[in-house]
Amino acid sequence: MSGIDPRKHRYYSQAGLDQLAEVMDAERPAPRCVVEIGSGVGDSARTLARHAGTDSVTWSIDPYRFGRGDAFLAEFYRRTSPHEQVRKVVQVRMGSAEAAARWPRMCGELIDVLHIDGDHASKAVNDDITLWHPHVKTGGLYVGHDWDTAHDGVRRAVTRAVENGWLESLRTWPCAGVWAARRADR
């Protein structure tokens, strides 16, 4: 990813961000604890935080490796700063597995919304679902990005999680690249 100007880069399309906002706005009561796996340049974190509850915290988990270092992290902070009318966002610079293992000590609160947009390989998405599952409240919302033909690993892992009883009530918006499902009582 070197050579990409993070100030001009977007991971989500505007249609995707609008759909993410609509999904968040439909949550009742409004989410208080939101966790995002894969932060990028902060567009999804900003959307999640703006559409969560007024007393919410959005935790953004990303190790910022693979050529997405300090410049991308600086852009994340710019896009999620308070002057952007964003509620509290906490950036955690570590991988998903490490953050999931540390979650009880970092926060301990059950998660209302888990946003998955990190590594798009089927195994990695499956790991995100299963490692974070104990920390998501029953009936809590899983939402993610890149439900499209270019990211078959996302579709395979999410579909498998539904088939195996981890998730239920799967909804997809392929034109926006967004998917959402509920945590099953497992």
3-state secondary structure of 95: coil
Residue 9 included in any domain: no
Q: Is residue 8 part of a domain?
A: no
Q: How many domains does the chain have?
A: 1
Considering the entire predicted model, what is its pTM?
A: 0.91
H or E element at residue 154? helix 152-163
The boundaries of the domain holding residue 83 are 14-183
- Give me the tens of pLDDT residue by residue for the chain, a chain 186 residues long: 455 665 555 678 889 999 999 999 999 999 999 999 998 889 999 999 999 998 899 999 998 875 667 788 888 888 888 766 667 899 999 999 999 999 999 888 999 999 999 999 999 999 999 999 999 999 999 999 999 888 899 999 999 999 999 999 999 998 899 999 999 987
Residue 66 burial (10 A CB sphere; 0-12, 13-18, 19+) = exposed
Residue 94 belongs to a domain:
yes
Q: Could you tell me the CATH number of the domain that includes residue 130? A: 3.40.50.150
Q: Is residue 150 situated within a structural domain?
A: yes
Nearest to 137 by CA among 114, 165, 162: 114
Residue 7 lies in a domain: no
Q: Is residue 5, in this structure, part of any structural domain at all?
A: no
Tell me if 160 is assigned to some domain: yes
